[in-house]
Structure 1
C-alpha cells in the first residue's frame, strides 16, 4: 500500500510543473495570432488541472498506462478522435507510438471552448507543433 501511495504522489508531483511556462516557450518558436495564443494559454491551465496528473506535465505519459501526448503519432494523425476523447472520454484500446494502451479516460465535463483550448495547448507544447487552430465550432461538430 505504501508503495502505491508513493507512486501516486510521484505522479502528482511530476504532473504539477509549470505548464504555462512551457506554453510560452513553445509560442516563441512559431508566430501565432493573439486569439490562438490566448487559447493555448487557457489550455495550459486546463491541462494542468485535468490532464497532467495522468499524462504528466511534459506530456510524456506513463508507458503502458497513460499514453504520451508529446510526439504522439495517434494525436498527430487522429485529431478528431483526440477531440472526441477529451470531449466524451475514451474507452478501449488504442496504439500510440507502437505501444498498446487500454485504459479508461473519463469524460472531463469541459465545454467545447475548453476542449478546443486543451487541444491547442497539447498540439503546440513540448515538441508538438500543429499550426492548425482547433476551434470551438470544430469541437461542437464532433459527435459521440
Structure 2
C-alpha cells in the first residue's frame, strides 16, 4: 500500500471534513430523525407548532432554542417525565407545565434527534436510547 492509499484510507476511516459520523452512524441518525418527526407531529406539534416556534408567552420555542441545545439532559427529562415550573428560553421566561407524554426511551431519543436537528438547530452528538434510559426524574 502506498502512502497516498494509506492517507485516503485513514482520512475516510476517521472522518472527512467536519462530519464525524461514520456512514452507519449517519444512517442511524437520519433514521432516528425521520422517526422523531412522526413522534413530534403526533405529540408535540400542537403546542410547539409545525415550525418549532411555539407560542409566545405560552409554549417555548424549539427552533434555535438555547435551552434545548444547552440543557440536553434537562430537555430529555422534560420529554420523558414532563415539566412544570419556570424555564428561560432565548431570554424569555415561560411558566407552565408539560405533561409526561408516555413515550418510550427510543421515541424520546428519536424526537430529541429530530428537534435538535431542525429549524436552525444542529446537534453534533446523536441522542441514544441508552442515554435516555439513564435520565432519572
TM-score calculated relative to the size of structure 1: 0.77
Residue 103 (structure 1) shift: 1.2
In the aligned structure 2, how far is the partner of 1:99 from the partner of 1:45?
28
3-state SS of paired residue (1:101): strand
1:141 aligns with 2:134: yes
- For 2:27 and 2:67, the matched residues in 1 are separated by 28
1:117 maps onto 2:107 in alignment:
no
Runs of 4+ in 1 over 3 A off after TM superposition: none
Is 1:126 aligned to residue 119 of structure 2?
yes
Aligned-residue Cα RMSD (Å) equals: 1.2
Q: Secondary structure at the match of 2:83?
A: coil
Max radius of gyration: which structure?
A: 2
Q: TM-score, normalised by structure 2?
A: 0.81
Partner Cα separation in structure 2 for residue 113 and residue 68 of structure 1: 23
What is the aligned length?
A: 115
**Larger % of strand: which?**
2
State the shift of 1:102 in Å: 0.7
Residue in 1 that maps onto 2:5 = none
Unaligned runs of 5+ in 1: 1-29
